[in-house]
Amino acid sequence: MAGSRFSVEEHRLQDALTNPVFEVISRVAATQNKQVFVIGGYVRDVLLGRPCKDIDLVTLGSGMDLATAIGKELGVKVSLFKNFGTAHLRYKDLDIEFVGARKESYQRDSRKPIVEEGTLEDDQNRRDFTINALAISLNKEDKGQLVDPFDGLTDLKNGIIRTPLDPDITYSDDPLRMMRAIRFSCQLDFTIEEKSLEAIARNKERISIISQERIAEELNKIILCPIPSIGFKHLFNTGLLQLIFPEMAKLYGVEEVNGKSHKDNFYHTLQVLDNLCPNSDDLWLRWAAILHDIAKPNTKKYYPDQGWTFHGHEDIGARMVPGIFKRLKLPLDHKMKYVQKLVFLHLRPIALTNGNITDSAVRRLLFEVGDDLEDLMKLCEADITTKNKAKEERYLQRFQKVRQIIMEVEERDKIRNWQPPVDGAEIMEVFGIGPGKEVGIIKNAIREAILDGNIPNSHEDAFQLMLKLGADLGLKPIV
C-alpha cells in the first residue's frame, strides 16, 4: 500500500476514540475475526477539531453482519440495505454506518458504480478526496493508528482539496464530486489543487448525469457556508454554474455605453450574500439574497439621459422564482413564496430611505411583508455594497430611521398581518349578493382607504364606506 501507517497526535487520537461505542465495535469485530476502521468525514473532522456525529465504518467482509452483531450488543435497531451492502444504526446522538470494503468501477452514463468486494486499499482508492480517505484502525494489534495512503494528513494540514487518483477519472466517474470539491473548499476554507480545478472545468458537462435533487443538495450546502462566494466563484470559473444555474451566471459582466457602465451584478450578488451571512444562517433568506437581482439581465436598458436602468427587476425577478425553484427541485411551498415575497419587496425599504417617509407607504409595506419584516430589513442592509465607508454609514443610519418609523406606525395602526375589518362574507350578507366582482371592488377599496389613511382602521368606518361604495355600484342593503 502506498503511503504509511502512523500514530495521530495523542490528544486528537483521544478525541477520536474516547466514545465507549468504539470499544464495543472493536470487541465485536474481534469476536468475528474481522478488521474494522473508522474512515472518512469523522476522521477528517476530528483531526480538524470539528464536531462530528456521523461515523462511517469499513470492514473487511460483510458490514451488515458486523452491524447486526453490534446493534444487538448496544440494544438498538439496525437498518440493513442489502442492495448496497450497507447497514445503519443510531446510538444515542451518533449515526453509524457500516460498509464492507469494496472496489468500484463505473459506466459512462451513470454515477452508480459496479461494486465488488475489496481490500481497505481498494476502499480508500474509491474515496473522493485524500482528506476523506483517512482511516483509523479499531483493531487490537494497531488500534488508534492512522492509515493514510495518499498523504491526506499533509493535505489536511496545508488546507488542500486533492483527489486520491487522477482527478479526471475521479470526476468523470462520479461528477457530483466536482460540486463536493467546491463545497469542501467553501466549508473548510481549503484550496482546491490546481490540477483538480482544471479537471473540473474539463469534466463539467458530466454534471448532466447527476440528478437535480443531488445538485440542489450540494448547492444548498455551499449557500450555508460561512463565505458562500468562495464556492460560487469556483462554480462560475469552472463553468459549472452556467450549466446548473444559468440565470445566476447571466448576472456576470459589465456593459459600457458612452463611457457609462453598470456594476457587475454577479459579484454584487455574491457580496450581498456574504454580507448577509453573519446576520442570518437561514437558507431561504440566503436564497432571497441570491435571487434579489436575478432579473437585472432581463430588464437592463440604457438611456442617454438616465444611464443604465433595471426598471421592474423586482417584479420580474419575483415571477422568475417559481420557475427557478421548480427546475432546481427546491420546495414549491411556503419557502418558495417567502423568497418570492422578499425578492418582490427588496426595493421598498430602500425607497423609503430616499425621501420623505409617508405613513401610507409604511402601512403598505407592513401589510405586504407581515412577519418577514426583519428578514427584509436584513436583506436590504446586506444590499449596501459600496466600498465608501462614509456612504455606507449614511445608508445604515437611514435604515435605522426607517426601522424607527416602521415601529411607530406598527404600534399605532397594527397593520402587520392585518385583515380589513369588513370581509367578503359581510359584504355579501349586507347586500344580499353572491360572490362577484362587486365584492372584490368593495373589499379592495376599503383596504386601500385604510392603507392610505383616508379612514381609520375600525369596523364602523369601514362599514360606512362599504355602504357608500355599494350605493355607487347600485347595491342596496337588505335591512
Write down the CATH superfamily of domain 4-158.
Answer: Beta Polymerase, domain 2 (3.30.460.10)
Q: Which residues are bridge partners to 192 per DSSP?
A: 161
pLDDT in tens, 358-412: 888 888 888 888 889 999 999 999 998 888 888 888 888 888 888 888 888 877 7
Q: Measuring CA to CA, how many Å separate 433 from each of 151, 351, 424, 436, 478?
A: 80, 41, 10, 8, 10
Average pLDDT in the chain? 88
How many other CB atoms sit within 10 Å of the CB of residue 367? 18
Q: What is the pLDDT of residues 70-109, one digit of tens each?
A: 999 999 998 988 777 789 999 999 999 988 887 655 556 6
Q: H or E stretch including 174?
A: none
**Cβ neighbours for 278, distance < 8 A, ≥ 6 positions apart:** none
Main-chain dihedrals φ then ψ at residue 263, nearest 5 degrees:
-75, 160
DSSP per-residue letters across 204-217: GGGGGGS-HHHHHH
| pLDDT higher than 90, residue 64 | no
Topology agreement, domain 4-158 and domain 159-244: no
DSSP 90: E
- CATH match for 159-244 among 3.40.630.30, 1.10.110.30, 1.10.3720.10, 1.10.1040.50: 1.10.110.30
Distance CA 65, CA 32 (A): 9
Domain ranges of the chain: 4-158, 159-244, 424-472
pLDDT digits (tens, 9 = 90+) for 104-134: 555 566 556 555 567 888 888 889 999 999 9
